[in-house]
Structures are given as structure tokens and as C-alpha cells.
Structure 1
Amino acid sequence: MKKLTSKEEEIMQILWKLKRAFVKDIMEEIMEDKPHYNTLSTIVRKLEDKGFVDHKSYGNTHQYFPIVSKEAYRKKYVTKTIEDYFNNSYQNLVTFFAKEDKISIEELKEIIDQLEKDN
């Protein structure tokens, strides 16, 4: 599975949300920096070439749908990020977010409580 560009990830987020969409449907979901229709169509076809989406043809138009789940993509690239930037340590990851004030002590305690309940 190849890493997606930020624009490709944005399009995949839309497809994961919509489940099935024509290019015009994807275009309607883009709030900022809307690409030209042909550019968006090219990005979607590249996603298809990379194996992330497939399509069903309706005459000259195509309805696209994801064939890679959001969960599968997230798992692959979160794991890769942790390996590359946090020395393969989830503790280092959590420490980073705590030091950056992205997660509070209370939230960490809630996570621990939830994990203890699940086990």
C-alpha cells in the first residue's frame, strides 16, 4: 500500500464518508482549494491506479468507491509514523502529545480506566 499525498488523503476521506460517489459528489464535499473538475478526476483515477478505489461505470460516467478501508490505511501509516518518528515506542508517542498539551492528564487517566475495563 502506497502512501497517499495530502490531496489524495483528502479525497479518500470524502470517499470513506460517502461510500460511493461520482466526481461531482466529491467536488461538492471539498470546502477549500477546490481543484478543477478534470484535476479532481485525475486524482481519483490515480487513487484507482494505486489500488485505493474502484469504480462502476454508468455509460460515460463512473461512480467510485473505496476498496481500502480507512482502518487499514490508518493502521499502516500510524504504525509507520510511530516507527519512523517515535523510535517504535507508543510511550514516546503519548509522551510527545502530553508535552505538546494535546492530551491532558485527565484524558490519559480516562484512557487507562477504559483499558482496564476492557481487559
Structure 2
Amino acid sequence: MKINQLTHAEELLMNILWKLNSAYMKDVMEEYPEPKPHQNTVSTFIKILVEKEFLTIEKEGRIFKYTVAIPYEDYKIFRLKSFLEQYFQNSASELLKTLLDTKMLAKADLDSLFETKKLENENPIVDFIDEITSDKTLKKKEKKKQKKGKKKKK
């Protein structure tokens, strides 16, 4: 599934639909912030979003039900990748460096994030599973190195 960039107006409408997941026109219009656009304008945007495959459309009697086809998380990742490509030469570390330099992200927050990850990795059950599922040839090489190290000490 290829995701395309949305305009600001399309993204505003999709945020409403991501919140609702599926909705009728009246539901969408109720959720729009003031000043509300005309219903014909919203209808045109919905038609565009259906063409871009962000929404599916289902006729129920005389009205249409619109359902999200591309989840918010998928679009968020698409936008983040585009952002990294456009402004940070595809480097997440450059983004982090900028966030730290501009104090948009505190070093303490970053440290606590890595500390949490470290604690998760220190789980003895996780360590045991990693040990029994790791590559056997690597284990043999490590044992040989340990034996060589012990022989040299003697």
C-alpha cells in the first residue's frame, strides 16, 4: 500500500476520521471545529481521500458510511520517514542531536528512556531465551576464546 502526502485540510479531516474510525457525513460535520466548512467542501475532500485510498466508502440506503483504510500509526510513520529524508538526510541520530541542541528533548529524558530499555534487557528470562536461541557457532567461538584465555594465564 503506497501512502501519499496529505494537504493540511485533508489531514484535518483525516484526524477527525481517525478519531471516529468510521462515520457518516453528519458525524464528520459535528466533529469539525469552528468555523465549520461547508458540507460540499467536506464531501469533496472525502472524495479525494477515497481516491487516495485513505478511506473506503459504503452505501447504506441513501447515505454513505466512510471508513478509515490507512491507520493513523501507518501515516505517522510515513510522515516521520519523509521528515527525516527532507530535513535530516535520513538520519534519526541527527534529529535526536537537533532535539537535544534546541532543548526540545532533555538529556535526562533520553537517559531515562535508555535506562528503561536497559532494565528490560536485564530480565533474566529474556537473557535465558536469548542464550538458548542465539547462534550456536557464535557460542562455540566464545567458548574457544575463553579456553585460550585460561590456557595463557596458566
The alignment's TM-score, normalised by the length of structure 1, stands at: 0.89
The residue type equivalent to 1:70 in the other structure is Y
Q: Gaps (5+ residues) in structure 1? A: none
Higher helix share: 2
Q: Does 1:80 align with 2:86?
A: no
The alignment's TM-score, normalised by the length of structure 2, stands at: 0.70
Percent sequence identity over aligned pairs? 33
Aligned CA-pair RMSD: 1.5
Deviations 1:11-45 (A, max 9, x none): 11111111111122112222244211110111011
3-state SS of the aligned residue for 1:64?
strand
Q: How many residue pairs get matched?
A: 119
Of 101, 104, 110, the match for 2:103:
101
Counterpart CA distance in 2 for 1:88 and 1:13 is 26
Larger Rg: 2
Following TM superposition, the consecutive aligned residue runs of length 4 or more in structure 1 with deviations greater than 3 angstroms are none
Counterpart CA distance in 2 for 1:97 and 1:23 is 40
Instruction: Tell me which residue corresponds to 1:49.
Output: 51
Counterpart CA distance in 2 for 1:69 and 1:27 is 21
Q: Does 1:31 align with 2:33?
A: yes
Q: Gaps (5+ residues) in structure 2? A: 122-154
Higher RCO (C-alpha 8 Å, min separation 6) = 1
Of 103, 107, 110, the match for 2:112:
110
3-state SS of the aligned residue for 1:21?
strand
